[in-house]
Each structure stands twice: as C-alpha cells, then as structure tokens.
Amino acid sequence: MKRKKLFYALLAGLLTQASVAQTLERMQWFNEPEQWEIIGNRLTMDITPQTDYWRVSHYGFTVDDAPFLYTTRGGEFEVKVKIAGDYKTRFDQSGLMLRLDHENYIKAGIEFVDGKYNLSVVVTHHTSDWSVIPLDKPVPFVWIKAVRRLDAVEIFYSFDDKNYVMMRNAWLQDNHPVMVGVMGACPDGDGFQAHFEEFTIKHLPDARRLQWLEKNKETSE
C-alpha cells in the first residue's frame, strides 16, 4: 500500500513539472501579428495597430481582433508572466488573457492611459467592465499572475516576482476549457512592441476533488 501511494505521489510530481514547462513555441495564435519572435522563453511581438478586446458597454462597439498567443487548459491552474512594452499611445496594453469565447474573457496587465501606466483588468461576460490601479511612475516590467480556482479567478501583480498583490477577483465559468496566454492591443495607435518572459502554467488539483478525497481517505494496513 505504501509503495502504491509513493508511485502516485511521484507521478503527480512529474505531471506538475510537465505543466510548468509550457513552451511558447507550442502555443497557438489568435489574430497572429505580422511580426513576432520567440527566443527561449521570451516572446517579442509588434502589436497590430487599431486592435483590442472589448464588448459593447460604455463605448457602444465590440472588437475582438488583437494578437493573442494561447494554450488551452481545463480545470484549475496558476499562470504568470513578466511583461514589458514600449507603450506610446492611449490604451496601449499588454498582459495575460483567460478566454472561454468571444463573450467571456478576462485580460489583465499594463495599460497606458493619459500618459500614465496603469495596472488594468477587463472582465467580460457579454459586456465588458474595466478597473485600473494608476502607477506613480513608469515601470520597466511587471509580473501578472492569475489563479483559477473553481468559478473564480484571482489576479495579482508584482514588481519582483516575490511579493504579489491582489488586484481583482472575478467570476469565470468553472469546469470549462479555457484559452490562456498573452495578449497585446493598440486601439488608438500605430502599434508598439511588447515583450513577454518567463511564461509558466502550474496545474492545481481540483478543489472539490480534494475535498472528496479528504472525506473518503483510503485506510492503510
């Protein structure tokens, strides 16, 4: 019995390591930009001009045409990436995106508004909302992390990849595959260059399943 438990523990560890080693080269494009390059675990892309993700509210239009490099995941996970960009024009942005479909997605990262850097989150369920945390000064880079647990996604930011601060808790349909990856948008300008480094995804065991296992523990001899 103990050997059996050890085997499953080692297998779980290997699977967790594999989930972390998500390579950018094996991910897919939605709205592929004209220019992009992957070297190691660093993606550089020229953000397509006049592109964005937004649905209806406040502005009265819907757009779904910005570059998005993604992989598809089911269940629960933690994803993070280090982002930087040569932001120049109002609403220039880059960051993470979790997307069920064209009416349900979350994007989070840096957005350039009125000459200032803002930590920005847009949550869309049929219509979009927008929340920002203004920064006192430009930053060379920032880490954005999202944790999907059951029907909630917690969004965090960090300037050192050690101390993370929550910036949003948002609903997202659980038990449904989700496209997760990096995006950039340039609604008003002529494009800019964005950089994404250290993109990782870590599998998290399903919380409901863990509760069931805890209640139905296997007794050892």
Q: How confident is the model at residue 35 (pLDDT cuts 50, 70, 90)?
A: very high
Backbone angles phi, psi at 103, to 5 degrees: -110, -5
Q: Does residue 214 fall inside a structural domain? A: no
Q: Does residue 190 fall inside a structural domain? A: yes
Q: Does residue 124 fall inside a structural domain? A: yes
Q: How confident is the model at residue 21 (pLDDT cuts 50, 70, 90)?
A: low
DSSP state of 25: G
pLDDT of residue 19: 42
Q: Does residue 184 fall inside a structural domain? A: yes
Tokens of 187: 């609604």
| Mean local confidence (pLDDT), 132-138 | 96
| Mean local confidence (pLDDT), 190-207 | 96
Q: Give the torsion sign (CA, 104, 51, 57, 119).
A: positive
Q: Is the pLDDT of residue 48 over 60?
A: yes
- Mean pLDDT across the chain: 91
Q: Is the pLDDT of residue 129 over 50?
A: yes
Q: How confident is the model at residue 15 (pLDDT cuts 50, 70, 90)?
A: very low
Backbone angles phi, psi at 161, to 5 degrees: 65, 20
Distance of CA 148 to the CA centre of its chain: 10
Where do the DSSP E strands lie in the chain? 28-30, 36-39, 42-46, 53-55, 62-64, 68-73, 76-85, 92-101, 104-113, 116-125, 127-134, 142-149, 152-158, 165-171, 178-185, 193-204
Q: Is the pLDDT of residue 123 over 90?
A: yes
Q: Does residue 218 fall inside a structural domain? A: no
- Rounded to whole angstroms, the Cα distance separating 49 from 183 reads 13
The Cα angle at residue 213 between residues 212 and 218, in degrees rounded to 5: 135
CATH of residue 8: 2.60.120.200
Q: Does residue 213 fall inside a structural domain? A: no
Q: Is the pLDDT of residue 30 over 60?
A: yes
- Rounded to whole angstroms, the Cα distance separating 118 from 102 reads 24
What is the β-pairing status of strands 76-85 and 142-149? Answer: antiparallel
- Rounded to whole angstroms, the Cα distance separating 102 from 127 reads 10
Percent of the chain with pLDDT over 90: 85
Q: Does residue 219 fall inside a structural domain? A: no
Task: Quick: pLDDT tens for 52-85.
Answer: 999 999 999 999 999 999 999 999 999 999 999 9
Instruction: Count the neighbouring beta carbons within 10 Å of the beta carbon of residue 205.
Output: 12
Q: How confident is the model at residue 219 (pLDDT cuts 50, 70, 90)?
A: low
- Rounded to whole angstroms, the Cα distance separating 19 from 12 reads 11
- Rounded to whole angstroms, the Cα distance separating 24 from 201 reads 11
Q: How confident is the model at residue 2 (pLDDT cuts 50, 70, 90)?
A: very low
Tokens of 144: 């954005």
Q: Does residue 221 fall inside a structural domain? A: no
- Number of domains into which the chain is organized: 1
Percent of the chain with pLDDT over 70: 89
Task: Quick: pLDDT tens for 161-198.
Answer: 999 999 999 999 999 999 999 999 999 999 999 999 99
Domain residues for the domain of 8 are 2-206
Distance of CA 76 to the CA centre of its chain: 13
